[in-house]
Structure 1
Amino acid sequence: MGLCDIEEIRSVLGRHGFHFSKSLGQNFLTDASVPARIAAESGAEQYKNAVEIGPGMGCLTAELCGRAERVVSVELDRALLPVLDETLAAFDNVEVVQGDVLALDLAALVREKFGGAEAVACANLPYYITTPALSALLDCGAFRRITVMVQREVAQRICAEPGSAAYSAFSIYVQYRAAAEILFDVPAECFTPRPKVDSAVLRLTPLTEPPVKVGNEKQMFALVRAAFNMRRKTLVNALGPVIGGEMGKEEIAALLESVGLDARIRGERLSIADYARLSDAIDSKREGR
């Protein structure tokens, strides 16, 4: 069955009375080379077990089934379950679970379905849930590799370097937890219905240890959020909501200079290591009082 063939898609969906949902961000692939390449890059063959989020018609699911020993596919839309029963009928190593990735305990799912064995995750993420879904996939600690298709702008933001226009608090959040790499772009014309933006396939390899050591991780990310919430302000001014009750602007400026940062710098220019040093310096100053 040609699960990326536009006529086959229309035929199968028509038999089941399925209609695309804009609210669920449903766009199905019509270029068979894309799911094949995602599956090949996913690590499914190496790690044997794969969790897929949002199978749609099942084109990526089928590719994963050809590489992994076991595939668990999580689909939110109940209307797609009978479609998947048909399109995945030839595979005996797949289980479709109806559920919401944002509500599921993914670590528990991996333990239940794979007995705690190593697993990878794959997804063609709807744009509207990209950030929370990626956070859930990373935070659960259950996957050796996460390969996802997202809006190209989001992929660029995740992989952005300090000082670039795309660099954001989410860049730091992801890069603190994983090595991020854009594998390839997927133009909008590779989907039906055609989305308004292009996509990219992103590979995240979760780190066993963060890239830097920091004494107070929660505080470091509070500094990051404050800095990017006031992106156009200097860090001296942006950090006021976090530490302004303890230090005046002159003290904050002196603190920045003590860790090698210009007092006039903006938060978008700081690396993860810079934020870690700054957070540790704040703790040291508190302890010295």
Structure 2
Amino acid sequence: MSKQIGSPSRTRTIMNQYGIHAKKGFGQNFLTNPDVLSGIVRAAKITKDDNVIEIGPGIGALTEKLAQAAGQVVALEIDESLLPVLDDVLSPYDNVTVLNRDVLKTNLAELVQTAFEDPTKPVKVVANLPYYITSPILFSLLASQVEWAAVCVMMQKEVADRLVAKPGTKDYGALTLAIDYRMDVKVAFAVSRKSFVPAPNVDSAIVLLTQKKAPLPVAPFNDDRLFGLVRGCFAHRRKSLWNNLKTIVGKDKERLERVRLVLDQLGIDAQTRPERLSLVEFINLTNAMHDQGLL
């Protein structure tokens, strides 16, 4: 039996055989730690009842593990030069489909309906995300019309810290709130930079996102307005909430008085920093500003 794709020796053999060099433009770092690969599959709780979308299979190290555990795997690879490699190394697995797609330009709801034999099965996303587009990919997944059973992704540890940050900390921000609004977040385990070829300059973490078990106690009148307000409030982190809100609503004195009224009604100190507000407080602020005709 040949060695698994994710072993250091087989990775080197495949890269030498096909003349593969990691491309910085695609953020490629090939994972060569079989224990980490197995840990990702365990963290995502992949079973034969699952449909799995993998983003960026690379040379197929994680894809192989997923194929062994899942019912069906659809892998999206943007680098066309890797398609013949994947076709070769994954040939033992008839439950894998590799598509030359950019996930950010893919209609994921349509993909689920057309690429899987049984689209009614739970759909999970598993990926070793390119560091430079981690946030856009996460937002794309959340914005799709797919109800993900789980999203299990590797990302830069610094970004993982932002996803689980608490109000009042330096890592807390718009990304934290956007993820917290829709998903429960758990950091499954850390991954050393030494687990990759070539080794990146930072360590990574495996993050598991699952649909929220309990609904939020209050809902915003409009999701887009909520996150427009959140982004505006975090536009200048060092400024007070008041100064950021002034930028959002303008300099009209009457409008600013209504902002003061809203903050007083909600018991929010105008001079506090935005990172001290919880998600529920941002939702309440959005709703109250809407009621005052400010959004």
TM-score, normalised to structure 2, is 0.92
Structure 2 counterparts to residues 241-280 of structure 1, below 5 A: 241-244=247-250, 247-280=254-287
Q: Helix, strand or coil: the match of 1:281?
A: helix
What are the Cα deviations for residues 125-183 of structure 1, in whole angstroms up to 9, with x where unaligned? 01011011111112113221100000000011011111111001111111111111110
Shift of 1:215: 1.4
Q: Partner residue of 1:286? A: 293
Q: What is the aligned counterpart of 2:192 among 179, 187, 192?
A: 187
Amino acid aligned to 1:243: V
Amino acid aligned to 1:37: G
2:232 matches 1:232: no
What are the Cα deviations for residues 14-71 of structure 1, in whole angstroms up to 9, with x where unaligned? 2112221111111111110111111112132174210100111211111111111111
Pair 157,47 (structure 1): closer, same or farther in 2 beyond 3 Å: farther
Give the whole-Å Cα distance in 2 for the aligned partners of 1:147 and 1:232. 33
Give the whole-Å Cα distance in 2 for the aligned partners of 1:78 and 1:283. 47
Q: Partner residue of 2:161? A: 156
Give the whole-Å Cα distance in 1 for the aligned partners of 2:222 and 2:141. 23
Shift of 1:234: 1.2
Q: What is the aligned counterpart of 2:137 among 133, 137, 145?
A: 133
Amino acid aligned to 1:256: L
What are the Cα deviations for residues 239-278 of structure 1, in whole angstroms up to 9, with x where unaligned? 1132235645444233212112112111111111001111
In structure 2, runs of 5+ residues without a counterpart are none
Give the whole-Å Cα distance in 1 for the aligned partners of 2:19 and 2:185. 39
Pair 210,101 (structure 1): closer, same or farther in 2 beyond 3 Å: farther
Give the number of aligned pairs.
287
Q: Partner residue of 2:119? A: 116
Give the whole-Å Cα distance in 1 for the aligned partners of 2:258 and 2:76. 51
| Greater Cα offset, 55-64 or 38-47 | 38-47
Structure 2 counterparts to residues 1-289 of structure 1, below 5 A: 1-45=3-47, 47-114=49-116, 115-117=118-120, 118-142=122-146, 143-207=148-212, 211=216, 212-244=218-250, 247-286=254-293
> Which portions of structure 1, spanning 4 or more consecutive aligned residues, are displaced by more than 4 angstroms?
245-250
| Greater Cα offset, 249-258 or 91-100 | 249-258
Pair 205,167 (structure 1): closer, same or farther in 2 beyond 3 Å: same
Give the whole-Å Cα distance in 1 for the aligned partners of 2:25 and 2:115. 29
TM-score, normalised to structure 1, is 0.94
Give the whole-Å Cα distance in 2 for the aligned partners of 1:95 and 1:182. 29
Pair 275,144 (structure 1): closer, same or farther in 2 beyond 3 Å: same
| Greater Cα offset, 197-206 or 136-145 | 136-145
Q: CA RMSD in A?
A: 1.8
Pair 79,64 (structure 1): closer, same or farther in 2 beyond 3 Å: same
| Greater Cα offset, 40-49 or 114-123 | 40-49
What are the Cα deviations for residues 209-231 of structure 1, in whole angstroms up to 9, with x where unaligned? 86241113222212211111021
Give the whole-Å Cα distance in 2 for the aligned partners of 1:62 and 1:168. 36
Identity across matched positions, percent: 38
| Greater Cα offset, 12-21 or 29-38 | 12-21
2:6, 2:37 within 8 Å by CA — same for their partners in 1? no
| Greater Cα offset, 241-250 or 61-70 | 241-250
